[in-house]
């Protein structure tokens, strides 16, 4: 996109008034989005976006500028702006770019740009039909969204690092709305990965759509959820929403350094049950939060954040790592060239244990089984959370009982991790777009089946200690 000689000139200009570190991030992004609603394809959107972001760091001061003008004049103009904004008197860099090699590589088998738009539209229409077929007359609305992104980046910095990378992501999201009388329920299902159209060889769109419709229809007959403190089993199918929100954000180094994380000052301390290990690994093949390099050109790697209950590490970008005199561990991410990088998660999960998930249910006398998480809110400073349960079941005498609706989970992330009693041998993933500081980046979250001693469950009925349910 830009030759190396021009990159050197731009970085020289950015560092003209002195700096500790400077870098440039150049991006070419091609996107396709298709939306189907009410049985009709409403939108087919394609686009190309190009631009560059330049950063200069001097001590704790950061100057950032971006431009969609990739000419010599446009890039050097932006470089002059950041140079004047972050001058610190440390001058003189001698650039001799060295290509940085990744620790992992990914192969894209069926590139989105090689797939005709008609085939993508057919996939969306097939998903719509499958949802309506699964739910019959009870399905009142289906929304299907398809998207793919082909992102090419060039990253260079004052340390002499040079990176060229390509990221391809594909996703499908289905929402089905079911109604019976005055009762209306919604089911959602999504798949996505760092891959091309081959995603759908392993995740047929009809199955994704049918799962969303089935959940919506089943929820129509669900009974009101119990309320009170009770044991909770988080199925692997629930995905890692809880570990992402109630734990992962608190392990991002910038929040820790600001003192706005519940994990600040707790490195090498016990913060979870010994059965719990938390990992962020952006090197996993085809996962939605994977990447070869982060957005600062640092190779991705597996980072063990909590090791057998002990806080081991945090997620660092270059800036937060430099504050502690250490290298980045590859978690500087940004939404686009218009945003500066900050510490972010990739693929965050609780590592599987050795217990059979079915055994965990059998050994739970009474409680709540959560198979699908909904939305929620988390306070990263305290770890307090409230989550909706999108699909839940009562557990009675070690058996899965009736489906319930209207359940919420309220608690504290670190406290919940301390009272995990059993960890299953399975691992289930969910995908999403993680928001932080006005930026969204693709992520995956995962967990095995977990037996949690006690969580406050909010609902419309109250559970007696012996497990019986009465209305309130």
User: If DSSP codes are grouped into helix, strand and coil, which group holds residue 132?
Assistant: helix
Cα–Cα–Cα angle for 324, 328, 330, rounded to 5 degrees: 150
User: If DSSP codes are grouped into helix, strand and coil, which group holds residue 402?
Assistant: strand
Domain ranges in the chain are: 4-221, 224-471
Nearest to 25 by CA among 156, 140, 122: 156
Average pLDDT over residues 263-283: 97
Please check the confidence at residue 457 and state whether its pLDDT lies above 90: yes
Residue 325's CB is within 10 A of a number of other CB atoms, namely 6
| pLDDT, tens digit (0-9, with 9 covering 90-100), for 3-47 | 999 999 999 999 888 888 999 999 999 999 999 999 999 999 999
Instruction: Report which secondary-structure segment, H or E, holds 74.
Output: helix 72-85
Nearest to 463 by CA among 411, 416, 407, 390: 407
Q: Please, what sign has the CA dihedral across residues 344, 271, 374, 376?
A: negative
Look-up: residue for tokens 């693929």? 347
Average pLDDT over residues 316-338: 97
For residue 169, the model assigns a pLDDT of: 98
Q: Please, what sign has the CA dihedral across residues 129, 135, 140, 143?
A: negative
Concatenating the DSSP letter of every residue in 305-371 gives: EEETTEE---B--HHHHHTTT----S-EE-SSTTS--EE--SEEEEPP-SB-HHHHHHT--EEEEEE
Architecture of domain 4-221: 2-Layer Sandwich (3.30)
- Check: CB of residue 294 under 8 Å from CB of residue 332: yes
For residue 451, the model assigns a pLDDT of: 97
């Amino acid at each position: 996109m830009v030759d190396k000689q021009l990159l050197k000139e731009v970085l020289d200009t950015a560092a003209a008034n002195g700096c500790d570190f400077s870098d440039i991030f150049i991006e070419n992004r091609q996107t396709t989005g298709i939306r189907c609603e009410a049985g009709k394809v409403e939108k087919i959107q394609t686009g190309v976006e190009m631009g560059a972001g330049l950063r200069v760091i001097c001590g704790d001061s950061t100057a950032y500028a971006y431009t969609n003008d990739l000419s010599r004049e446009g890039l050097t103009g932006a470089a002059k702006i950041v140079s004047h904004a972050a001058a610190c008197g440390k001058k003189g860099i001698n650039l001799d770019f060295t290509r940085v090699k990744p620790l992992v590589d990914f192969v894209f088998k069926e590139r989105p740009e090689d797939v005709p738009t008609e085939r993508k539209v057919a996939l969306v229409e097939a998903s719509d039909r499958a949802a309506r077929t699964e739910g019959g007359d009870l399905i009142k609305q289906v929304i299907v969204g398809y998207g793919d992104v082909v992102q090419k980046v060039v990253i260079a910095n004052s340390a002499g690092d040079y990176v060229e990378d390509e990221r391809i992501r594909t996703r499908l999201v289905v929402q089905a709305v079911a109604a019976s009388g005055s009762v209306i329920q919604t089911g959602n299902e999504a798949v996505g990965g760092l891959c091309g159209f081959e995603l759908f060889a392993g995740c047929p769109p009809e199955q994704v759509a049918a799962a969303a419709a089935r959940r919506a229809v089943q929820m129509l007959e669900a009974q009101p959820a119990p309320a009170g403190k009770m044991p909770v089993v988080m199925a692997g199918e629930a995905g890692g929403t809880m570990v992402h929100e109630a734990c992962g954000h608190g392990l991002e180094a910038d929040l820790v350094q600001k003192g706005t994380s519940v994990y600040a000052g707790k490195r090498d301390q016990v913060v979870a049950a010994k059965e719990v290990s938390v990992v962020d690994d952006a090197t996993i093949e085809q996962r939605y939060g994977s990447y070869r390099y982060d957005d600062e050109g640092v190779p991705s790697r597996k980072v063990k954040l909590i090791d057998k209950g002990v806080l081991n590490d945090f997620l660092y970008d270059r800036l937060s790592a430099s504050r502690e005199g250490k290298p980045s561990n590859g978690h500087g991410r940004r939404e686009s060239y218009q945003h500066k990088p900050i510490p972010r998660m990739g693929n965050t999960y609780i590592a599987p244990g050795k217990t059979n998930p079915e055994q965990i249910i059998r050994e739970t006398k009474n409680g709540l089984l959560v198979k699908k998480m909904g939305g929620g809110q988390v306070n990263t400073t305290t770890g307090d959370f409230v989550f909706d349960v999108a699909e839940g079941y009562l557990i009675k005498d070690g058996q899965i009982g009736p489906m319930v609706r209207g359940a919420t989970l309220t608690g504290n992330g670190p406290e919940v991790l301390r009272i995990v009693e059993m960890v299953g041998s399975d691992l289930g993933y969910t995908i999403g777009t993680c928001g932080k500081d006005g930026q969204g980046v693709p992520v995956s979250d995962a967990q095995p089946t977990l037996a949690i001693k006690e969580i406050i469950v909010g609902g419309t009925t109250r559970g007696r200690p012996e497990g019986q349910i009465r209305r309130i």
